A and B are shown apart, each in its own frame.
Chain A
Amino acid sequence: MNLALRDKFMLAAAFLLAAIYLFPLYWMYVTALKTGSAMFASPPSLWPSDPQWGTYGSVWESRNVGRYLWNSLVIASGAVSLIVILGTGCAYVLARYRNVWVDIGLFLILMLQVLPASLMITPIFVGFSQLGLLDYPRTAVILAIAAKSMPFFVVLVRATFMSVPMELEEAALVDGNSRLGAFFNIVLPLARNGILVSAILIFMQAFGEFVYSKSMIQAIEYQPASVGLNSFMGPNTNEWNNIMAYAAMYVTPILATFVLLQRRIVSGLTSGALK
């Protein structure tokens, strides 16, 4: 077969596969624009004949989406700050040394990474309620998410620190820097990009977190968007256009970040999980 023809054929097949794969996302955006009757039409139309842009405004108002998204933002920012402050130094030490203690530490961290949140929430909830932490529900969720996601961050950032040549740090030490000075002036700036990408990844995970928030935050004014979406979907709901509008408002900022940083996110993910 002609090579150019083969390329074209493969490209067409790839677009077809991508279209099938991305259909659920497309269906979310299209349903959000349909009228109440067009939504239940048979056969379903693939394109809204009469796009209802007002749905977004009315859902934003009636479901208080702004408050939910703000809570998600507060929780995700808090968890990411805590993880970055604590996890970066830990990853640095684990990358700099090779001995049996580092191996043990890494093994424990990898084991913590795999504990399912829905199984850990029972003891965390009971423990936090005994300590009185549940009176500050968003703080409690931030602490729980930080513990859940920090191992993943440490594994990702450790891979970044491994790629920083140790000779640079040693040169800084010879030039009279203290360990502290060399860490902040040499090592951290060189690893900045990797830390940033890992932090964004953790942020997107924390932004969508559900189990901890659902279990620990009873007061509706502190609940994040995931819990809000869950309470929006009753068992016999039929306002799917409104629900899809809510979901679109929730997920679009994440998708935009992903599209902008796609290349870096992909390389960050693959370097941490496997090599």
Chain B
Amino acid sequence: MRRFLLSISDGRGFDIGLVSVPLAFLFAMAGLPLIYNIVMSFQEVDMFSLGTFARPFVGFKNYVTLFSLPETWPILGNTAVFVIASIAGQFTIGFGLALFFWTGFPGSSWLRGLFLVSWIMPGLVVGAIWNWILSGDFGVLNYILRESGLISDNIFWRSDPDFSLWAVVIANIWLGISFNMILLSVGLSAISQDLYEAAELDGANVIQRFYTITLPMMRSTIGAIISLGLIFTLQQFDLFAAITAGGPNNSSNVAQYWAWDLSFRQYDFAQGATVSVIMIVFVMIASVVYVRSTRHEVRG
């Protein structure tokens, strides 16, 4: 007993104790649910069998049912559009801003810090603000677009099936600019200035320098940021809950919202788990790409 206590306070037991408790906690709270999720996707779950573990297994029936639903493919398509449009917008604007602030002028680092505000705001608050800005009759965005002559009639962003998904995309781009910009800034500041001086002496202009130095030097950073953007975009739930709730008629529904909607609105936990399993596979693939592109950092 004494040796055991001594090991806890002054030996290998100290390290093992420190690391095993949190890992056990994470396994219980994240690992087991992950396994349970897969199990449920092969079971028949309804309100009556919710409280028991002994539920009938139905094989791949849930998956077959899922892909025979008429809304499945449109929702998966929406998810792809949402992810690609969000990442394209966030990355382009974020890269532009990062390059702009990188030129360096008095006050640039302070002003750049302001662009991080959206990162720490609760998603529901961001959603509420954009819900109001995008409002059809009285929204300020419609007013700006009308006055600048881009549109003649108001766009009903939240209730028009052609625009509802884009309403969420706009809000999500605003939300995601900050992390793209700051991580790209970090990558830019790591490029040696000597390279640019040498290129300038050789007579390369700004555009040539961007394509021959900045982009190649940033390749691993860009890869990491795009896979991180994919991960964050697939986590986006709050904006859907706050702006469109997936509607009208699923036109702005995406898989991560649909999974929740199936479980907690339609109480179809088996279908919810099935959608979850499919999406988690996608997220896992993205995170493997991310971990590989930052491995040198992870190892220290």
A233 close to chain B: CB less than 8 A: yes
The interface residues of chain B lying within 8 Å CB-to-CB of A211 are 237-238, 260
Residues of A within 8 A of B135 (CB): 240
Distance (Å) between the CB of B257 and the closest chain A CB?
7
Contact B283 A275 (CB under 8 A): no
* List of B residues within 8 angstroms of A120 by Cβ: 30, 33-34, 37, 276
A110 touching B291, Cβ below 8 Å: yes
Cα-based distance from A262 to B299 in the complex (angstroms): 28
Report B-chain residues with C-beta under 8 Å of the C-beta of A111.
Answer: 284, 287, 291
Q: Are the CB atoms of B26 and A150 closer together than 8 Å?
A: yes
Q: Is the CB of B204 closer than 8 A to any CB of chain A?
A: no
Determine whether the beta carbon of A14 is less than 8 Å from that of B259.
no
- Which residues on the B side are within 8 Å of A251 (C-beta)? 121-122, 125
For window 72-99 of chain A, which residues contact chain B by CB distance below 8 Å?
86-87, 89-90, 92-94, 96-98
Q: Is B216 an interface residue (CB 8 A)?
A: no
Contact A42 B143 (CB under 8 A): yes
B83 at the interface (CB under 8 A from A): no
A-side interface residues, number (CB < 8 Å): 103
Instruction: Tell me the smallest distance from the CB of A200 to a CB of chain B, in Å.
Output: 10
Residue of A with least CB distance to B115:
A21
> Is B111 a contact of A18 with CB atoms below 8 Å?
yes
Known: A122-B259, A127-B32, A178-B10. Contact between A226 and B122, CB under 8 A?
yes
B129, A24: Cβ atoms closer than 8 Å? yes
CB distance from B75 to the nearest CB of A (A): 14
Complex interface bits, B28-69 against A, C-beta within 8 A gives 1, otherwise 0: 011111101100100001000011110000000000000000
- The answer to whether B206 has its CB under 8 Å from any CB of chain A is no
Most B CB contacts (10 A, CB to CB) among A122, A130, A262 go to: A122
Q: Is the CB of A162 within 8 A of B238?
A: no
| Residue ranges of B at the interface with A (Cβ–Cβ < 8 Å) | 8-11, 14-15, 17-19, 21-23, 25-26, 29-34, 36-37, 40, 45, 50-53, 97, 100-101, 103, 105-108, 111, 113-117, 119-126, 128-133, 135, 137-138, 140, 143, 147, 174, 177, 179, 182-183, 186-187, 221, 224-225, 228, 231, 234-235, 237-238, 241-242, 245, 256-257, 259-260, 263-264, 269, 272-273, 275-276, 279-280, 283-284, 286-287, 290-291, 294, 297-300
Some 15 contacts from A to B, beta carbons below 8 A apart, are A7-B105, A24-B174, A114-B235, A114-B287, A115-B30, A122-B259, A122-B272, A179-B9, A179-B10, A208-B124, A226-B238, A254-B120, A262-B116, A270-B182, A274-B186
